[in-house]
Amino acid sequence: MAEQFRTCPTTGLKVHLPAETLIKVNAVAAVVCLLVGGLAALLILLTRWPAIHLLDEEWFYRLLTAHALDMLIAWIIFFEVAGLYFGSTVLLNNRLPAPKVGWVAFILMVVGGAFINYTVLVGQATVAFTSYVPLKASPLYYLGIILFAVGALTAIGHFFAALVVAKNLRGIAANRHLWSHVRRNNCSLHSSARRSFLYPDLSLVCRYFATHRS
């Protein structure tokens, strides 16, 4: 598994390569959503400028809807997912437990976002920022909302799974340190430390070292 990690030359942190790829693709998707929403905002501004009045009423509300969804939801969530992966792997010196799950979440979010933008731009979901009845939209629009939400929730669940892995790995590393300390000092483990060796629990290991300092 060592080949799946690299060391950052700037920070010295270990980077899990599958996690790094997911961080990059989510960050790029966030920037793309930001650019799309920003372009829509520029066109809206030029329409609201009386001297130009670039777009007609129909396209104005289409772009207003796309602007709201891309800049207030999509880009923020993509960027947050990238941040969650970064925090749970790079900062914790950890691996991502199931990169395939991360890719499933990303694909769901991208497909959902594509459905949303498509239905909005073809005029089948001019619902501004409220997607409720009586502002009815195409079923494809609501399918996109569902897919995007499921993908985001999957990514969040993946983040919590990575935290569990990080906790377990730290517990195992601490237990190895404890065992090497016992062997060097030719001493025996009391009951709580023995349990911590069998079942990784960092708190028990810390208490052992606090009460058995040389």
195 has pLDDT over 80 = no
Distance of CA 68 to the CA centre of its chain: 21
Enumerate residues 6+ apart whose C-beta is below 8 A from 44. 55, 60, 63, 64, 67
Percent residues over pLDDT 70 in the chain? 74
Domain boundaries, the chain: 2-153
Residue found by looking up tokens 């598994």 in the block: 1
d(CA 15, CA 89): 7
Strand spans (E) along the chain: 5-7, 14-16
- pTM for this structure? 0.76
pLDDT, residue 193, reads 45
For 5-41, write each residue's pLDDT tens digit. Answer: 888 888 888 889 999 999 999 999 999 999 999 999 9
Of 28, 18, 192, 191, give the one whose Cα is nearest residue 100: 18
Helices 99-121/17-48 angle, 10° precision: 10
CA-closest candidate to residue 195, choices 208, 180, 186: 208
Report, as an integer, the average pLDDT of 172-184. 51
Residue pair 95/16 in contact (Cβ under 8 Å)? The answer is yes
- Quick: pLDDT tens for 74-131: 999 999 999 999 999 998 888 899 999 999 999 999 999 999 999 999 988 877 666 6
Q: Are 162 and 94 in contact (CB under 8 A)?
A: yes
